[in-house]
Homo-oligomer: A and B are copies of this chain.
Amino acid sequence: MATVIRIAIDCMGGDEGIPVTVPAAFAFAQRYADTHLLLVGLPEEIEQAVSVCAKRYPDVSSDRYSIVAATEVVTMDDPVEVALRRKKDSSMRVAAQAVKDGRADACISAGNTGAWMAISRYVLKTLFGIDRPAIASALPNQKGGTTTMLDLGANVDCTAEHLLQFAIMGTALAQAGDVNHSPSVGLLNIGEEVIKGNDIVKQAAELLRQSTLNFYGNVEGNDIFKGTVDVVVCDGFVGNVALKSAEGVARMMSVMVREEFSRNIFTKLLGLIAMPVLAKFRRRVDNRQYNGAALLGLRGVVIKSHGAADAVAFGCALERAREAVQTGLLKRTAEAIAKLTNSQVEAVSSTQSGDSE
């Protein structure tokens, strides 16, 4: 099987743009010989970067990538309306269109999240049965594996049905191609406190219990990193806050470790001696390796890289795109959703006809 995985890269997106995206693309192409990259953006600028990278990565022959011109660039603070309506030839739009037209299997951008979500949704449309796309990411857990979490910020207000759809999409992502694996799903809730969750969460739990998903039950914030379940589902407001709180603590603790080892000459010396161990710790908590969120529920594989990603982090996001294509994420998600929709239609019609068969 020598299928080529074609990825359309918005080279203009992110805090750095081309200086990060193009070198990352070449490094990635060198790592994975089964890929073809569409480098989308202002052609002169990309060509310049390509001529430098082509020398640095001689193994990546010129038939491994193509430059696809776009005349406009969505900036980090462009309002969604501007990105969508005024910049119709933006690199984001052209990248998404390449997937729509079947010229690419996946697209990726490190640009403005809101604009990327709106554009990819507008161009690709949602899968049948999905009301709202969601942002999903794999986070490291204490067990040494990852926990897939969604929604991380696309939808601030969700119904119970939306949360169920997120659970289905998250399950498909966490399966990663192994259809026999039935990832456990947890519903993010609050614990021992006064009232356990709001009405929407309670209704969602009911829907999840009735579904064919491997529903574990409610989980709390700490369970994300404990690895209690494979998939954690929540609305985008809660998910975004949880993710960023976690990032904040991780950064604070890394700073503290560094501070303690640079307090005086003795501790600095210790830090030097302990360097290999500390470096290993740093690698494990390095969030660059978890870069690359999936925008799930669209008729195409769409990946969002962190805006501040460097070439290493952007390369990890490219790997997410490749994995999603390779494991048939889209087909599996569509099938799971269709199954649910059918079973719901059946449930409704059997209720209506009074026939419980």
Contact = CB atoms under 8 A, between A and B. Distances in A.
Contacts of A153: 190-191, 193-194
B194 A117 contact: yes
Contacts of A267: 277
A190 B241 contact: yes
A307 interface: yes
Interface string A249-265: 11111011100110100
Contact of A244 (B194, B222, B243, B253): B222
A186 to B, nearest CB: 12
Nearest to A133: B194
A244 to B, nearest CB: 3
A237 B190 contact: yes
Contacts of A198: 156-157, 237
A43 interface: no
Interface stretch (A46-54, A207-215, A280-288, A337-345): A280-288
A112 interface: yes
A252 B281 CA distance: 11
Contact size class for A? 35 or more
A236 B193 contact: yes
B249 A220 contact: no
A238 interface: yes
Contacts of A274: 270, 273-274
Contacts of A114: 192-195
A239 to B, nearest CB: 9
7 contacts: A113-B193, A153-B191, A157-B198, A222-B244, A225-B251, A226-B248, A246-B246
Given A190-B241, A222-B247, 6 more contacts: A113-B193, A152-B193, A221-B244, A243-B245, A245-B246, A270-B273
Q: Which 8 A-B pairs have the closest CB atoms?
A: A221-B244, A222-B248, A153-B193, A225-B248, A221-B245, A190-B240, A242-B245, A114-B194
